[in-house]
């Protein structure tokens, strides 16, 4: 008893369907808020509570005006993270800078806020310094909360000030 060729013609289509279903899980959006960092990664996080809370939000989407794990703008990430850590900060970038204790850039400590001017005019971006010349921030529309380096020429050229809240 032999197999007909019509039975074998379905095999490539069935294989393609199974592959699409298997890969479809990789392409789906992750659920938010992101999981807490693993113990291995956690040991490398700064000890400042606000910075640790912000680091737990890595992967959260940028959302203009956002200040919750559903989405953050830059000052909303600072506001949320510091409030969760019991540190009172204003909601906007300009107010965060205005009310912070200024810190020289060569004296940055984990948890200090770093402020940038991205265009003409006022201060327009804030991040949380995490040590080793890195900071965490909610970059811009279409991006997600992430770490970046202060050594990047883009950020170096736009750095304006640093401030501390305790």
Angle (CA) 148 153 102, round 5°: 70
CATH fold of the domain at 40-164 = endopeptidase fold (from Nostoc punctiforme) (3.90.1720)
Q: Which of 26, 48, 101, 137 is catalytic?
A: 137
pTM reported for the whole predicted model: 0.74
At 136 the pLDDT is 97
Give yes or no: 48 in active site.
Answer: no
At 12 the pLDDT is 52
Nearest to 127 by CA among 117, 142, 141, 112: 112
Give the residue ranges of the chain where pLDDT is below 70. 1-46
Q: Are 144 and 69 in contact (CB under 8 A)?
A: no
The pair of structure tokens assigned to 87 is 């540190």
Give yes or no: 74 in active site.
Answer: yes
Determine the Cα–Cα distance for residues 124 and 74; give it in Å rounded to an integer: 9
Q: Are 90 and 58 in contact (CB under 8 A)?
A: no
């Amino acid at each position: 008893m032999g197999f007909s060729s019509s039975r074998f013609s379905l095999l490539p289509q069935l294989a393609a369907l199974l592959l699409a279903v298997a890969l479809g899980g990789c392409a789906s959006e992750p659920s938010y808020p992101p999981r807490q960092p693993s113990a291995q990664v956690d040991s490398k996080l700064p000890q400042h509570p606000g910075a640790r809370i912000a680091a737990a939000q890595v992967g959260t989407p940028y959302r203009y005006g956002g200040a919750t794990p559903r989405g953050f703008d830059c000052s909303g990430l600072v506001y949320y993270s510091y409030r969760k850590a019991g540190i009172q900060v204003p909601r906007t970038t300009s107010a965060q800078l205005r009310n912070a204790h200024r810190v020289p850039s060569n004296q940055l400590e984990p948890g200090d806020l770093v402020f940038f001017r991205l265009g003409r005019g006022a201060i327009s971006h804030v991040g949380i310094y995490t040590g080793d010349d890195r900071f965490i921030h909610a970059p811009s529309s279409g991006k997600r909360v992430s770490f970046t380096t202060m050594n990047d020429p883009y950020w170096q050229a736009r750095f304006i000030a640093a401030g501390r809240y305790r």
